[in-house]
Amino acid sequence: MGAILESVVVDGNREEVFGRIKGIEFIKRIDPNAGQDTEVVLDTARVLRSVSLVDKVGTIETERVIIPELFSIVSQRRGSMSPFLYQIAIQMLEDAGARTVLKWIVDFELEDRMKDREAYFSSIIRSHARENLERARQYLAAP
């Protein structure tokens, strides 16, 4: 099982930042797999489920569980994710005065046949988390 933690400090208080990261526009701006080919299939106060068409992969369904009391969002792909048994991404916001710390945590486990490649997958996931945080920082810096 691998776990990755990256973070970035952004302008704005937790309430403002959370309001901007919980919706589909945030996903479309930071996720290179989302965009024009992303369709929202469920949008409630606590759950945002979307379907994206990804080159060389096919259709991916993602579910985001929104936890406003904790300023947190838990995302997980639904369906087969080989070679992963699971992969969960958590975005957490922590108060930093007039600014906010956006933490990006990814936890995953690989199928037994791929356990020896955990370091490889960890490096890719860490790189993606850093890229997503940089895109998030840019998105949140824009008016």
Q: What is the mean pLDDT of the chain?
A: 90
Query: Cα–Cα distance between 124 and 31 in angstroms, integer?
Result: 15
Signed CA dihedral, 126, 131, 135, 141: sign only: positive
b (16+ CB within 10 A) / e for 52-64:
beeeeeeebebeb
pLDDT greater than 80 at residue 87: yes
Predicted pLDDT of residue 135: 93
Domain boundaries, the chain: 2-141
Element (H, E) at 8: strand 2-11
Give the CATH number of domain 2-141.
3.30.530.20
Percent of the chain past pLDDT 70, that is, above it, reads: 94
What's the mean pLDDT in 23-37? 78
What's the mean pLDDT in 31-51? 85
Task: Write down the pTM of the prediction.
Answer: 0.88
What's the mean pLDDT in 115-141? 93
HEC string for 16-55: HHHHHHCCHHHHHHHCCCCCCCEEEEEECCCEEEEEEEEC
